[in-house]
Structure 1
């Protein structure tokens, strides 16, 4: 709703009321229409101020209304009526003005912002565009280059930047409402002709075609198949080349196409999925009721390699004190320098002081004796981690949480080395840890709800998207990655090239195909894991190991010192910098390998690459759901969109399976299982069969089908 009140000096104050962000629901829009009409009809009112309650102007549309029949007045006529008013209307922006909230403010004649406020048009992140005049009014204020940047990226900007771009007229360090009321009095008798943005011409550079051609190339490259950024560019071109009314019609038409698209549904699913995983729960929907996080103020990180350094930075930037331990002198010195550099660069970007004084360095493990929480981040070696946990159990205070940054080792086994296994959880960060948003919080059979809640809460403080997952080899992300990577190797054996596989996956929307990703992370990483599993046989090329099909291609490259980017050669060659170029040596190597094994290369089309790589990954996701390793499909999809580069406009692996059609996924898995009977994980999961037999319900109803008889959570 919107509350109406008259203040002194003939100013009507309209306050949006829809906590927590005063979203523009049907009731709020109706309230705005009613109160604005009342203010304009009142002869004692000379000007109007629109604000939001609780220090928040407006967070935009109420996304919960998407997909439902519209109630209340439409947004566009409401904003036009405000702009057409014969009394000055001033927006008092505090907190945020996002999406429809900023479009509402742009319909006002003036905008006064509190200095800490942020504004933006983030509709593109939901697969949409600003469809209440945002694509038409914003460039008339900021110019086209700035509008293209803001609308195609959806980024939020500070009030100071908004002032520079003429989006707001004034800033205040105090109450924006008080400043707006005072300002409204001063402009009560001024002409509004020049203040109506829709009547202004759109400033255009001399070479308009070149500007839009460059903008289109940029969004096509960065969006990798997402349609909303392209539509945003098209709408902004309309603002530059058409009269305002025709530009609004173009904006409306483009929005109509986007609104019902599968990409918009996928991105909106992602929006809600991210919020769902924060309310971590057991499979089947039950939540850990009553489990509150412990207060954490002093932390420690053991091991200051690449991951340990990033984790230290995350903790310090969250305002926590950190004892950073590295037992060897030279690595400790290098870590100090690297961590200081990361903190300074991060602080410069955020405009704050670097948190250097929060970190204490030590070569002695006993320095962690009084911390509240320890993150062990030594090399991924079970014996080493076991030794560290035994020592920490003796050194740390009784209530300290012991967390391991493992990418797939058995958390229960590590917990068994502690005197308090209920306080042991996994915290699987993703490299680089101070950049990547995903955090898998792994809990085993004896982890307490309080320990999990504390790890999840700590992840939130660090700005991470935490997903609580059960304990198994590889957890969720890496477990699903294994069949995906193996299928890529099998495709090479059968006639594909790294470029053809990666090109197909990147065209699908991945930022990086699986072979480029392998080169980046290091081919030797998986090699070491396979050695630990007893799969590597030096010099051998047998294609069956431990009773199942196996490709030794990665092992053979590692034996030749080809570890990826760090050695300049891997699946690609890297002569200068990080640009991957096809390697003729590798192509010859593959031809010779096939000849030795009697494999006849065949043409493998794009569809087969996608189906074998993606459906094998998805099938493993169904097994994870069936076993109760993940609470629901949203958890898996958040892991993959935030940690593994799955394109957000395709929702995530499990959502994508539903969009393709579960029956089709099942049919194609059965086909490939018959074609490759020695690849056991192509056997369709029982849960997938049950879902298809139940009529292939939408993803949000899968929980009704999932039976959690073997829950690991």
Structure 2
């Protein structure tokens, strides 16, 4: 008999009730779906013809759990914890037949089942820690009862899924399917019935608690690691796993629930979820496009070429590097070989991977390399006139004017977690889609920027430096400004960061009349940054920065003295100025989502993820407070400090979110 109740698929046959959990991208474990699952479970339990109940995913996976956006409010009834308890307390054996992705509360549902079988390639994970949250449906109590503290904490604290078909932790899975999953589940149920085996609640399992000493040692080791983390979930997860050994199961569930609420309401937790939401929004905004070209050409030399070629080698495509200077081409290939060898030696790449990456590379003149490529990336100026194959796209990857489509990597192509896709005045949808598809294949999040070549990262960095220099103009110490950033978790403030970059290259940053570009002034004095041993800081032979008395004297001679401001005020003005620049980008249409600027800030400025970016922080500080602080700045650069009208809209409408373009 087959029956469909809402979104849940139900069928009964041969003594088995099959309950299908929807697992497509739009089918999260919502309150409505949880209610449907509870009702289906009750029907199966009450049906006298049913001996076993099998939970299975009705799509490409078992379940990816809840929509992360739902974590912003308390769980609506029935909660995931209530669903899992009901599964665990079922009077008939419940078997979770797992395939595809089994994540979050979907994984917790699997843990609540009495038995688990899995198809090869099944990915099981509890990624809530990435959002600054512990699990909320009993995973911290059930998982260690099955696999012990060490294995449970590895899964819970890493947030990375494990392959259940490869080497799953002992005790997590009862059977790995060798054939079709439904047939294997049917045979597993027959075996249970033949052996007279009934429900086996995970709450009563003691396998993972069998060695109390090893359990405590694993907890102690992870507690020491978690104690220094700014992610509020990490110490709470360790404490909850310890509670699984020390407390009755029901008390452990209460402990986990309290930990979840504490983390959900914490500022770091809010920031981590905001960043994750920004990444999801950026991925969702991609233009549907091709899977990607089979042959990519990189044209040009200069500082961008080698890292760009290296970053493309892991992409499953042939990479042709065309360089007009044979000596630069040779040196670049040697550099790429050395980097791949270093990655292989460190274990970051396997021997076969390193060879495969290098086998994809072909080198020659720009004209020869561009002739067969489906996608051409310009890594430096002077290559714009090279002829490309008919139908091939041409993307500008180096800083400069963009009429079509450009790419900007943050912080560099090799380490880029984010790519700005610059849509110039003549950009077409196909070119944008191709650029976004390439970014995805490179493992990066892409954001779309409407400009003639200016990047969000460049503009944001300039705004940060401009604001920091203005604070110095007003009598504040660059070392106090950096210390205010460092104490907040931002390890490299604007002056330390510029020293590390080199001050000579920053002289082009413009300032208004009466304002000073202090990087340019120090460079003119011979203090050009870390490599020279002196910039804003004095750099010792060991490479450690020290506040410079010479710089303090130079500043005192060139601008009026002032009472030191509190660190909170310095941070408010610095972050407020960057958010104000973000508001200008939103207002002009250069940027379409405020959260995109936050993603750029995390990469370009190395802001701490657990604080969020300037746009998020500004809203947490309060739109009125930020607007008034900006308006109250007495500095010659009024155009820079004047609050953008979007602040007025936020204050008068009491909006909690920036508008989207």
Compute the TM-score of the two structures, normalised by the length of structure 1: 0.81
Question: What number of residue pairs does the alignment pair up?
Answer: 647
- What's the counterpart of residue 93 of structure 1? 98
Unaligned runs of 5+ in 2: 1-6
Aligned residue runs from structure 1 range 196-235, under 5 A: 196-200=202-206, 202=209, 206=213, 215-223=222-230, 226-235=231-240
**RMSD over aligned Cα atoms:** 3.4
Q: 1:460 to 1:494 in 2, by over 3 A?
A: same
Aligned mates of 1:436, 1:318 — CA distance in 2: 14
- Structure 2 counterpart of 1:122, from 117, 124, 127: 127
Q: 1:150 to 1:351 in 2, by over 3 A?
A: farther
Aligned mates of 1:190, 1:554 — CA distance in 2: 82
- Structure 1 counterpart of 2:317, from 311, 315, 320: 320
- What's the counterpart of residue 368 of structure 1? 370
- Structure 2 counterpart of 1:155, from 155, 160, 165: 160
Give 3-state SS (helix, strand or coil) of 1:187's partner: helix
- What's the counterpart of residue 331 of structure 2? 331
Q: 1:271 to 1:7 in 2, by over 3 A?
A: farther
Contact 2:499–2:528 (Cα < 8 Å) also in 1: no
Aligned mates of 2:512, 2:59 — CA distance in 1: 63
- What's the counterpart of residue 17 of structure 2? 12
Aligned mates of 2:372, 2:53 — CA distance in 1: 57
Aligned residue runs from structure 1 range 512-551, under 5 A: 512-520=492-500, 522-524=501-503, 527-531=504-508, 547-551=513-517
**Structure 1 residue 467: deviation in Å?**
0.5
Matched, 1:399 2:391: yes
Aligned mates of 1:497, 1:514 — CA distance in 2: 12
Contact 1:305–1:335 (Cα < 8 Å) also in 2: no
**Structure 1 residue 630: deviation in Å?**
0.6
Higher relative contact order (CA 8 A, sep 6+): 1
Aligned mates of 2:520, 2:151 — CA distance in 1: 46
Give 3-state SS (helix, strand or coil) of 1:354's partner: helix
Superposed CA offset, 1:11-46 (max 9, x none): 332211252274212232223222323333334333
Contact 1:484–1:613 (Cα < 8 Å) also in 2: yes
- Structure 2 counterpart of 1:589, from 550, 566, 572: 550
Aligned mates of 2:211, 2:620 — CA distance in 1: 41
- What's the counterpart of residue 4 of structure 2? none
Contact 2:439–2:446 (Cα < 8 Å) also in 1: yes
Aligned mates of 1:502, 1:229 — CA distance in 2: 28
- Structure 1 counterpart of 2:613, from 647, 652, 668: 652
Runs of 4+ in 1 over 6 A off after TM superposition: 207-210, 349-353
Give 3-state SS (helix, strand or coil) of 1:23's partner: coil
Unaligned runs of 5+ in 1: 282-287, 379-384, 413-423, 536-544, 707-713
Superposed CA offset, 1:530-586 (max 9, x none): 25x7x7xxxxxxxxx66241133465258647543x66765463645xxx6342xx4
Matched, 1:638 2:599: yes
Superposed CA offset, 1:19-76 (max 9, x none): 2274212232223222323333334333222110123001011345455786553322
Superposed CA offset, 1:71-115 (max 9, x none): 553322322232233433221211111111111111112222222
Matched, 1:481 2:440: no
Contact 2:145–2:202 (Cα < 8 Å) also in 1: no
- What's the counterpart of residue 617 of structure 1? 578
Compute the TM-score of the two structures, normalised by the length of structure 2: 0.87
Give 3-state SS (helix, strand or coil) of 1:666's partner: helix
**Structure 1 residue 191: deviation in Å?**
4.3
Contact 1:548–1:680 (Cα < 8 Å) also in 2: no
Contact 1:324–1:362 (Cα < 8 Å) also in 2: yes
- What's the counterpart of residue 3 of structure 2? none
Superposed CA offset, 1:187-242 (max 9, x none): 3335457662444264666498876565345335343xx42333323323322332
Matched, 1:437 2:417: yes
Matched, 1:698 2:627: no
Give 3-state SS (helix, strand or coil) of 1:317's partner: coil
Give 3-state SS (helix, strand or coil) of 1:299's partner: strand
Please say which of residues 259-268 and 653-662 is displaced more in the overlay: 259-268
- What's the counterpart of residue 467 of structure 1? 447
- What's the counterpart of residue 522 of structure 2? 556
- What's the counterpart of residue 456 of structure 1? 436
